[in-house]
Structure 1
Amino acid sequence: MKILSDAWTWLTGATHWSGDNGIWHRLEQHLFLTVVCLLISCLIALPVALALGHLGKGGALAVNVSYVGRAVPAFAVLVLLLLTPVGRYGEGPTVVALVLFAVPPLLTHTYVGMREVDRHVVAAARGMGMTERQLLVRVEVPLALPLILTGVRIAAVQLVATATLAALAGGGGLGRIITAGFDLASTPQVVAGAILVGVFALIVEGAFEIGQRFAPAWVRDEDT
């Protein structure tokens, strides 16, 4: 309990919230890195998953990519990238590692969502003369959207938690608070940094939950 009390004391210290090393600045860096990596991941994974799901092919690819993404630690990927020429480009290794980590849930959930669309509805739409593009945009994607958004939510929360690795490569974010605590042998600062990351992840999770709760009925994920 004393550790938590000391961590709370550290968090409530006004000097720890301002400046380049302050919590607000590190939080901005963490949020920016998360958003950038999530957008890149979506641009990579969603078109591929939508195409495979529409064609009904590549299910094994989606599942295997998901398994590989879960099995390979993002830390290991980051370390390997730091040893390659990519390591020369600032936060490049961190972005690549985080994107590789976020792609699997996006790819898997989008593909599964597309394949779970009622085939009778698809056949009826095709029978009405819809082109493949119209079928994808007007029928399959809207019906698959709840699972697609679930994949985005999972990827976002994972990115928030994993973006702390940026500190190991000299980047910014809340991870710098934790690494600075280790450097100073300050357990309260380390615990405070971990609490900040956990709370931030919960806020992101809650934001997605609230967004889906107040979204139109056809957007909501009935399983949540």
Structure 2
Amino acid sequence: MNLFLEAIDWIFAPERATGALPLREAISTHLLYTVVSVLIAAAIAIPAGWLIGHTGRGRGFAVALAGAARAVPSFGLVLLLVLVFGVLYKVEASVTAFVLLAIPSILAGAYAGLEAIDRRVIDGARSVGMSPWQLLLKVEAPLGLPLLIGGLRSASLQVVSTVTLMGYVGNWGLGFHIVQGINLRTFEQILGAALVIVVLAVSLDALFAIAERVVTPKGVQARRTRGRKERRPSERLATS
């Protein structure tokens, strides 16, 4: 408990506004790398995911990619790309690593969102004469948004935690304070910086959860609510 209170004191200490990397600057840099990496990954993964979901081609590759990404060690990928790019391009190497880590989750959310749409809806849109582009942009993409945002949510949480590793390859982000705390053996600094990262992650998760609920069509929400109500009596009978 004393260490926790000391960590809180470290976060709000006046000294955090000065020094080699002020805490406010570290937070803004941490968020900047997270947002830029996720946006670049989204620009790559969303069109590819929609193409897979719309045509049904390449799904096996996307599933394999998403599964393989879970086995890739984040720290190892960052260090590998720093060695490949060179020490003068640490920022580019780190952002590339974050983008590569974010792509599988966004890709899976994009194509899964389209695959989850009721085929009767697709057939109905085609029957009224919609072209493939109209079908994608006016029917499939809006209905697939909740799962896409879920993919963005997962990717953002992974990236915001992985950006911490930049403290090992350069003096950027909140990882700098963690690495500095390890070197100086100031445990309240390590815990304080870690708590700030947790707050950032929880805040991002809450924002995406709200966005996911907002973009879910009211009819889908009503159907889910009705489905839960209908399952409850059967669940009671199963347990009795």
Tell me which interval the TM-score lies in, with the shorter structure as reference length: over 0.9
Residue pairs, 1:113-152, within 5 angstroms: 113-152=113-152
| Distance of 1:219 and 1:18 partners within structure 2 | 49
Superposition TM-score, scaled by structure 2 size: 0.87
Could you tell me which amino acid in structure 1 is paired with residue 188 of structure 2? P
| Distance of 1:68 and 1:33 partners within structure 2 | 24
Say if 1:19 and 1:25, in contact at 8 Å, map to a contact too: no
| CA positional deviation for 1:85 | 2.9
| CA positional deviation for 1:101 | 0.7
Give the paired residue count: 222
Pair 86,100 (structure 1): closer, same or farther in 2 beyond 3 Å:
farther
Give the corresponding residue for 1:14.
14
| Distance of 1:160 and 1:146 partners within structure 2 | 21
Could you tell me which amino acid in structure 2 is paired with residue 64 of structure 1? A
- Tell me the C-alpha RMSD between the 2 structures: 1.9
Pair 19,106 (structure 1): closer, same or farther in 2 beyond 3 Å:
same
Indicate the SS of the match to 2:173: coil
Superposition TM-score, scaled by structure 1 size: 0.92
Give the corresponding residue for 1:45.
45
Residue pairs, 1:6-155, within 5 angstroms: 6-18=6-18, 20-155=20-155
1:3-62 per-position Cα deviation (integer Å, ceiling 9, x unaligned): 212212212211113455111010010111011001000011111000011001222111
Could you tell me which amino acid in structure 1 is paired with residue 27 of structure 2? L
| Distance of 1:9 and 1:89 partners within structure 2 | 36
Pair 185,219 (structure 1): closer, same or farther in 2 beyond 3 Å:
farther
Say if 2:46 and 2:106, in contact at 8 Å, map to a contact too: yes
| CA positional deviation for 1:210 | 2.7
Say if 1:146 and 1:220, in contact at 8 Å, map to a contact too: no
Q: Comparing both structures, which one devotes a greater share of its residues to helix?
A: 2
Pair 177,220 (structure 1): closer, same or farther in 2 beyond 3 Å:
farther
Indicate the SS of the match to 2:129: coil
The structure having more radius of gyration, on CA atoms, is: 2
1:91-133 per-position Cα deviation (integer Å, ceiling 9, x unaligned): 0111011111111110111111111111111112112111111
Could you tell me which amino acid in structure 2 is paired with residue 127 of structure 1? S
| CA positional deviation for 1:90 | 3.3
Which residues of structure 1 form unaligned runs of 5+? none
1:50-85 per-position Cα deviation (integer Å, ceiling 9, x unaligned): 001100122211111111111101111111112113
Select between 39-48 and 157-166 the one with higher mean Cα deviation: 157-166
Amino-acid identity (%): 35
| CA positional deviation for 1:211 | 3.1
| Distance of 1:221 and 1:177 partners within structure 2 | 45
